[in-house]
Amino acid sequence: MPLSVLALAWLTGCSTIKLVYNQSDDLLYWWVDAYVDLDADQKPGTREALSALQRWHRQQQLPEYVALLQKARSMATQDITAAQVCATTEEMKTSFLTLLRQIEPAAARLGTQLKPEQRQHMRQRYDKTNKEWRSDWLDASADKRLRYRNKQALNRLEDFYGRLDDPQREVLSQWLASSAFDAALNYAERERRQADSLQTLQRMAESGSVNTAQGLLRAWTDRTFHSPNESYRSYNQALWQENCAGFAKLHNSTTPAQRQRLAETLRGYETDLKTLIAQK
């Protein structure tokens, strides 16, 4: 989801964070428009709400990210535990939920205004992205999917640590090869969330009440983060803990030079975020 990417952009390894962040309200607007095909009456309010969200986020959440980066940097040169990794990612999740709560009123207002043809446009957009997702994760062979995951993870890790040596690459390969990751289960949950979102939007529009719509939206957010599918919840929790352990093991295999590079990269992100905060 683009909001998560923009809200936690410093984790992407992107060298143009300041440029991307300063355009985040426009990027989010284009994303929303691509999904729902905003009409002339909906566009001004959506733009205004996203600009207000960016101003709030710059002052309220970027300082939290700076503090989190400082904490991560203090751990970068040391061995770490899976529990520490999970605690950090939990902080990120909490921050993102706060962001979603902040945009709830504006999102609820828009939800009450959406027409059936706009929800149909969303369905078509879902179908398009699902086709791309299946191509990457379901249609290919198991070996090809594993190579794809390995390549993605390696590229991201080397953005932070520099080139991983052969033993470190083997740690990564073993981590991913033994992973509980289940593409079919993830896809089923993806479809459930999409169907849930369309049903929720329909109920929001039918209610005609922003207060009612906001309650429906919050309930949908809760179901997104805590799936009603017990099997998926158990799987997702196990996968999360597995990934925390895998990253900790990989980090603990790195050299002092690689850890220093990680610390310097995190320091660079801190500097970028402090600059963004000061821009007002």
Summarised one tens digit per residue, pLDDT across range 147-181 is 999 999 999 999 999 999 999 999 999 999 999 99
Instruction: Say which residue, 147 or 4, is predicted with more confidence.
Output: 147
Task: Give 19's pLDDT tier (boundaries 50, 70, 90).
Answer: confident
Spatial separation of the C-alpha atoms in residues 131 and 31, rounded to whole Å = 18
pTM greater than the 0.75 cutoff? yes
Cα 61 to Cα 16, 24, 99, 212, 222, distances in angstroms:
19, 14, 8, 27, 21
Q: What is the mean pLDDT of the chain?
A: 92
Query: How high is the pLDDT of residue 177?
Result: 95
Mean pLDDT of 138-144: 89
Position 184 pLDDT exceeds 90: yes
Which pLDDT tens digit goes with each residue over 247-270? 999 999 999 999 999 999 999 999
Q: Quick: pLDDT tens for 200-241.
A: 999 999 998 999 999 999 999 999 999 999 999 999 999 999
pLDDT at 18: 82
Question: pLDDT above 70 covers what percent of the chain?
Answer: 94
> ∠ CA 262-265-269 to the nearest 5 degrees?
135
Structure tokens at 148: 């794809």
What is the count of structural domains for the chain? Answer: 1
How big is the chain by its Cα radius of gyration, in Å?
Answer: 20
Q: What is the DSSP letter of 65?
A: H
Question: Taking residues 11-27, what's their average pLDDT?
Answer: 74
3-state secondary structure of 111: helix
- Which residue segment(s) compose the domain that 120 sits in? 2-278
Residues 95-113, mean pLDDT to the nearest whole number: 96
Structure tokens at 184: 């079919």
